[in-house]
Structure 1
Amino acid sequence: MKKYARVVEGKVDNIFETVNPITEEFPAGQLWVDITGTVNSQVDYGYNAVNTDGVWSFNSGFPWPQSVLGEQMRNEKVRRLDNVMASVASSGLQFKVDLGVATAAEQAYLTAFKEYCVAFGQVNKQPGFPVTIAWPQLP
């Protein structure tokens, strides 16, 4: 899995992780910088992005270590996803499906849950992200 930061007008406006080439995920003409392996706090939404002789550096614009928008995004993502993940994990739903003892309704719910997780991981592909987000609906 690789992690990328999109740079627009000298600022990070999107962060995306994928196993695919970033050019397969987003339209051509966007500036994406590979930030795989960087510490999470080194690159965040709204950070300044500077290219010096082909080497990218990112900073928050001291004294704030993380952007407010980035923190809000992480909190909202955790809040929305954690409840569903806990519910599915505690029900043993995946185990029931794996063992062939799940009902048709349980199998359908697990499929819907997986689709939800995929959609959740794609919210930063939406036009207007990160200012406006249409969060996926819970299954």
Structure 2
Amino acid sequence: MKKYARIVDGKVDNIFETVNAITDEFPSDQLWVEVTGLSSNQVDYSYNAINTDGVWTFNSGFPYPSSPLGEQLRNEKTQRLDKVKASVEATALQFKVDLGLATAAEAAYLLAYKQFCVAFHQVNKQPGFPLTIIWPEIA
């Protein structure tokens, strides 16, 4: 899995992880920089992005160690995903389906959960991201 930062007007405005080529995920006219291995205190939303002779560096604009927007997004994402994950794990839903023990309603819920996870991990493909996010809900 590779991690990329999108640069717009000298700032990081999106961070995305994928196993695909970034141009398979987003239009090729966007500027994406691979940042695999960098932590959120090295590159984060709203960080300044500086290209010096082809080498990208990122900074938050001292003295802030991470951006408030990045922190808010991570907290929101963690809370939303953890809540849904906990209910699926607590009921051993995947195991019930795998073993043929799930009811039709349980199997349908697991499918909805998987669709939710895919939509959830693609919120940063939304047009207004990161300032406007429509968080997916599980039915």
Q: 2:105 maps to which residue? A: 105
Could you report, residue by residue, the CA deviation over 1:31-63 in whole angstroms, capped at 9, with x for unpaired residues? 000001112321100000001111100011000
**Shift >4 Å, 4+ stretches:** none
Q: 2:115 maps to which residue? A: 115
Give identity over the alignment, percent. 72
Aligned length: 139
Counterpart secondary structure, 1:42: coil
Could you report, residue by residue, the CA deviation over 1:54-88 in whole angstroms, capped at 9, with x for unpaired residues? 11000110000000000110111011111000110
Q: 1:74 maps to which residue? A: 74
1:131 aligned onto 2:131: yes
Provide structure 2 residue ranges, at least 5 long, that are not aligned to the other structure: none
> Which structure has greater helix proportion?
1
Counterpart secondary structure, 1:41: coil
Opposite residue 90 of structure 2, the aligned amino acid is S
Counterparts of 1:65 and 1:39 in 2: how far apart (Å)? 11
Counterparts of 2:64 and 2:136 in 1: how far apart (Å)? 31
Q: 1:47 maps to which residue? A: 47
Counterpart secondary structure, 2:110: helix
Counterparts of 2:109 and 2:79 in 1: how far apart (Å)? 20
Q: Quote the RMSD (CA, aligned, Å).
A: 0.7
After TM superposition, give the deviation of residue 138 of structure 1 in Å.
1.9
Opposite residue 40 of structure 1, the aligned amino acid is S
After TM superposition, give the deviation of residue 26 of structure 1 in Å.
0.5
Counterpart secondary structure, 2:33: strand
Q: Is the 8 A contact 2:40 2:66 kept in 1?
A: no
Q: 2:22 maps to which residue? A: 22
| TM-score of the superposed pair, with normalisation by structure 2 | 0.98
Q: Is the 8 A contact 2:12 2:47 kept in 1?
A: yes
